[in-house]
Structure 1
Amino acid sequence: MLETLMLSRIQFAANISFHILFPMINIALGWMLFYFKLRFNLSGKQIWMDIYQFWVKIFALSFALGVVTGITMSFQFGTNWPGFMEKVGNIAGPLLGYEVLTAFFLEATFLGIMLFGMKRVPSWLHTLASFLVAFGTTLSAFWIIALNSWMHTPAGFEMIDGVAHATSWFEIIFNPSMPYRLTHTLIASGLTACFLVIGISAYRLLKYKNQDDAKQSLKTSLSFSAVLIVLQFIVGDMHGLNTLEHQPQKIAAMEAIWETDSHIPFVLFTIPDEQTRSNKFEIAIPNAGSLVLKHDVKGVVQGLNDFEQHPPVKPLFFGFRIMLAMGGLMLLSALIGVFYLVRKKAFPTFSLRLFTLMTFSGWIASLAGWYVTEIGRQPYLVQGILTTAEAVTDQPASHVGLSLILYLSVYALLLVAYIHTIYYLTRKKIQLAKDNHTPDELGANYV
């Protein structure tokens, strides 16, 4: 039977996994909406307003679910992890408070103008509201990532009677991993939002090709995604080097490296065996591991056997490769899109189907990366300061298990409803286009 610790970990993972889906869309989608509004203001072309009005509905839907799930997630600091606030609440509490005071209130205040003020306020004020909402989502991410990064690479504090006290808020906020983690997360949000727009736009065009706003949103988001995916690989490499410096055991688990050595291979596939501390059915590229991690084929990389404690290997190894695989598919999709954009050719049906399949690819990559990050900190909740076991509640496992079942049931229903609503809005948009337009002369396989 599962114990309280494991059930509490599963429950928090379920809550944050569901919650993170919506900020990962909205952080970047807010900036995309601001871009669409600016294009409308500068050009006066109705197509940009059509794009804005469609996607602002999905933004509002995502915002609502993000708020609701964020509230239930914060409850668990008290119900499931009381030891967390008892030991590091002097640092975690203010950072969470700053997020609410400076970011959430900003978003909530101007969201009403953004959604309902189009015809009630001057255009400049509506554009300003769109900017402030986008800025608010990014500011919210800033504070949350600052706290999360501090839990991985704590700095700027001292322990007094077993409780953490701040000595430098600058060092706490801008801890060693924060700039890399924040940049990596913001770009991941950009890709998540871009591929949602790409996928929905492609779906619309597959159903009915004569939709100019869908064509324009597809072209725009493909252009953004092509730049972002290249940046993400560069930033990801920098983030990996930073993690190797501060959490070498996490990198060793991600790469299934058991023995410290040079000329480390990059393992494409294996089944890590923690009992025998070896890899089974290994497929690897010689020397590539040292080249990636040290930028030198002779680079020495620490293995897991050097550490008394290290995170579980299988979740990190496979989670990291799922993230890489999704990144590779995003790169392929972006390259296909750019190929047709540069040649000014219509997108063939196969490309639209690929784009449609990639609609929620950002979710998969983000969740895989998040699991690698968070599981990679185990057995600690705050690296080197507080273990997960020390922070967990003393509530009976049956109580935690019951609430877990309720959470999972509600979240499953909400996720189905969310996706259904997106496609409901999409189908309405398609039907409106059919009612207002006649088919053009392009062939059936092209848009």
Structure 2
Amino acid sequence: MSFLTAYHLARMQFAFTVGFHIVFPAFSIGLAAYLAVLEALWLKTDRRVYLDLFKYWLKVFSVVFAMGVVSGLVMSYEFGTNWSQFSQKAGPVLGPMLAYEVMTAFFLEAGFLGVMMFGLDRVGRRLHFAATCLVSIGTLISMTWILASNSWMQTPRGYIIDAATGRFLPKNWFQIVFNPSFPYRLVHMGLAAFLCVAFVVGGVGAWHLLRAKRTGTHAPEAVRVMFSMAMWMAAIVSPIQILAGDTQGLNTLEYQPAKIAAMEGDWVSEDHAPEILFGIPDMQAETTRYKIQIPLLGSLILTHSLNGKVPGLKDFPKQDRAPSQIVFFSFRIMVALGMLMALLGIYSLFLRWRGTFYSNALLLRAAILMGPAGFVALLCGWITTEVGRQPFTVYGLLRTADSVSTVALPNMAASMTGFVIIYFIVFVAGVTILFRMFGDAPHEGETGPDTHEPQRAAGMTQVSHQPETGMAE
């Protein structure tokens, strides 16, 4: 363990906490939008199935939202305890944006979350729908400010550096917020959040459809509806996400060429570059071993030209290179999962045309297996983005080694151990609760988080014990 320093543990701790945390905000963003769509469909059509699905997924949202808040609390403290130099130097730029996130998004969510979760039978339909929409908008605003802050760290603009203190001072807020990578990353992340939820919803629906198929029973209408909605989302959004990722790649090539070189495992810049499908980058030998590559495809993908120039890691000093081994594989896992998600969506369209959409066992099993694919792809994309920025916290300007606090190794190790224990307890407990929820299919007369589930008796159908005032029967 002598190779570990407080600096390495600080990086590991932040990577660990943000890795656990990011899953839940992404889930909340997509699920809040899905809830708004379900309630809108219920109000428009007056079909009870949409209300049942809304109540079913609202209970899931309550757990996911709470876990997102809990898992993210410590990150703000880590900036002060572990990354005080970064906070001091970049705080004048990032601090106001994070404050705007609290004042706009957090207050909006906090103000209407209670109405959304507990007010369906207490306020009018339209007021409740407005609360649901405002919570969904709040999650999107939160994502916008967080990505604006992180994107500024990737492609910093609109600042000046104080000569005396080395602090980044805001000069042009429009350039700071709408920095070159922000629009591309915002679209890519938003679509990723929607796909995460689509494949979870699709996986849950497929599980209950497959179980009904095996037992010879008829799946509830709500199960069929949510599976259909999820596969429509997969079929439409997955190809769009691939195009969004392509545009972000072009932007990254322009503003962060060293990251592209690490992602591709290329060491020498060249025209007519091949695409390395598989290999093992060797940072010491400055080569990628065991390469399996396709001629010309690298230039075509990265520059949209067969003779486009692709950068190599040798174009950059050794001390400025990102660890290619990590981003090389994380990027390929993300791309592979994105392709599989798109293929599953296209396959579902084919089965709709064939008339076997709800009964095809291959589709149902594939949807179950792909349930967590959105989250895995999201984490791999985040790893590619953040590790690919190394060795800088503010790309090209502030090194990660110069951003860390002066903290003793035993103190850092103690806090790291505590975080690992607590996060695993919270995560395992939360996921256990969610899987228990997923184990019950949505049914007619579904109850929300503000009501208690009635006792189930053998051979009896579950019936809501609370009247659904003002709702279609």
- Fold match, TM over 0.5? yes
2:202 alignment counterpart: 198
Query: Would you identify which runs of 4 or more consecutive aligned residues in structure 1 move more than 4 Å?
Result: 430-435
Partner-residue secondary structure (3-state), 2:359: coil
Of the candidates 372, 394, 397, which is equivalent to residue 409 of structure 2?
Answer: 397
In structure 2, how many angstroms separate the alpha carbons of the residues matched to 1:352 and 1:429? 15
Question: How big is the shift at 1:427?
Answer: 2.5
Paired residue for 1:129? Answer: 131
Tell me what 1:441 maps to: none
Aligned length: 437
The equivalent position to 1:361 in structure 2, one of 361, 364, 373, is 373
Q: What are the Cα deviations for residues 354-412 of structure 1, in whole angstroms up to 9, with x where unaligned?
A: 11111111110000000000001111001122111111111111211121121112222
- In the alignment, structure 2 segments of 5+ residues that lack a partner are 213-217, 447-458, 463-473
Matched, 1:78 2:80: yes
8 Å CA contact 2:199, 2:371 repeated in 1? yes
Of residues 401, 421, 429 in structure 1, which corresponds to 2:441? 429
Alignment match, 1:267: 276
SS in 2 for 1:276: coil
Contact persistence 2:263–2:328 (CA under 8 A):
yes
Query: Matched residues in 2 for 1:247 and 1:347: separation?
Result: 47
- Which deviations, in whole Å up to 9, do the C-alpha atoms of 1:15-66 show, x marking residues without a partner? 1011100011111111111000011001111000011000011111111111
What residue is the counterpart of 1:384 in the other structure?
A: 396
Question: Structure 1 228/430 Cα, relative in aligned 2: closer, same or farther at 3 Å?
Answer: closer
In structure 2, C-alpha distance between the alignment counterparts of 1:282 and 1:103, rounded to whole Å: 46
Q: Structure 1 residues 430 and 121, CA, compared in 2 at 3 Å: closer, same or farther?
A: closer
1:107-256 → structure 2 map (5 Å cutoff): 107-160=109-162, 161=164, 162-208=166-212, 209-256=218-265
The 1-side partners of 2:21 and 2:361 are apart by 34
Q: Distance in 1 between matches of 2:38 and 2:460?
A: 24
Aligned mate of 2:266, from 237, 257, 264: 257
SS in structure 2 of the partner of residue 284 of structure 1? strand
Normalization by structure 2: what TM-score? 0.90
Q: Structure 2: which amino acid aligns with 1:333?
A: L
Map of 1:101 onto structure 2: 103
Provide Cα deviations, 1:209-238, integer angstroms capped at 9, x if missing partner. Answer: 421101100101110121111111101010
The SS at the match of 2:293 is strand
1:429 alignment partner, SS class: coil
Distance across 1 between alignment mates of 2:345 and 2:78? 39
Alignment of 1:404-423 (within 5 A): 404-423=416-435
Q: Which amino acid aligns with 1:41?
A: L
Deviation larger for 325-334 or 232-241: 325-334
| Structure 1 stretch displaced more, 221-230 or 247-256 | 221-230
**3-state SS in 1 of match to 2:441:** helix
Hey, what does 2:336 align to over in structure 1?
325
Q: Distance in 2 between matches of 1:420 and 1:431?
A: 21
**Do structure 1's residue 8 and structure 2's residue 10 form an aligned pair?**
yes
Q: Could you say which residue in structure 1 is the equivalent of 2:449? A: none
Percent of aligned pairs sharing the same letter: 40
Could you say which residue in structure 2 is the equivalent of 1:341?
A: 352
Provide the secondary structure at the position in 2 that maps to 1:347: coil
Please tell me whether the aligned partners of residues 259 and 303 of structure 1 are also in contact (alpha carbons under 8 angstroms): yes
Gaps of 5+ in 1: 438-447
Q: Are the counterparts in 2 of residues 222 and 337 from structure 1 also a CA contact under 8 Å? A: yes
CA contact (8 A) 2:330 2:380 kept: yes
| 1:378–1:388 contact (8 Å) kept in structure 2 | yes
Deviates more, 1:415-424 or 1:377-386: 415-424
Q: Which residue of 1 aligns with 2:469?
A: none
What is the rounded CA distance, in whole Å, between the counterparts of 1:155 and 1:355 in structure 2? Answer: 42
Counterpart amino acid of residue 253 in structure 2: L
Give the match for residue 453 of structure 2: none
Matched, 1:63 2:102: no
Q: Deviation at 1:419? A: 1.9
Change (3 A) 1:64 1:392: same
Q: Which residue of the other structure, out of 282, 286, 290, is the alignment partner of 2:291?
A: 282
Instruction: Please say if residues 340 and 347 of structure 1, whose CA atoms lie closer than 8 Å, have aligned partners that are also in contact.
Output: no
Quick one: distance in 2 between partners of 1:157 and 1:423? 47
CA distance in 2, matches of 1:20, 1:237: 23
Give CA-to-partner distance per residue, 1:69-103, whole Å, 9 cap, x none.
11111110001100111101001111110111100
CA distance in 2, matches of 1:37, 1:317: 42
Q: Does 1:46 align with 2:58?
A: no
Task: State the distance in 2 between where 1:430 and 1:102 align.
Answer: 34
Kindly indicate whether the alpha-carbon contact (under 8 Å) linking 2:53 and 2:442 is maintained by their aligned counterparts in 1: no
Q: Does the aligned pair in 2 maintain the 1:219–1:341 contact within 8 Å?
A: no
CA contact (8 A) 2:6 2:412 kept: yes
CA distance in 1: counterparts of 2:429 and 2:367, whole angstroms? 22
Label 1:178 to 1:424 Cα distance change in 2 as closer, same or farther (>3 A).
same
The residue type paired with residue 240 of structure 2 is: L
**Match of 2:55, SS?**
helix
Residue by residue over 1:213-272, the C-alpha shift from the partner in whole angstroms, topping out at 9 and shown as x without a partner, is: 011001011101211111111010100000000000000000001001111110000011
Q: Helix, strand or coil: the match of 2:168?
A: strand
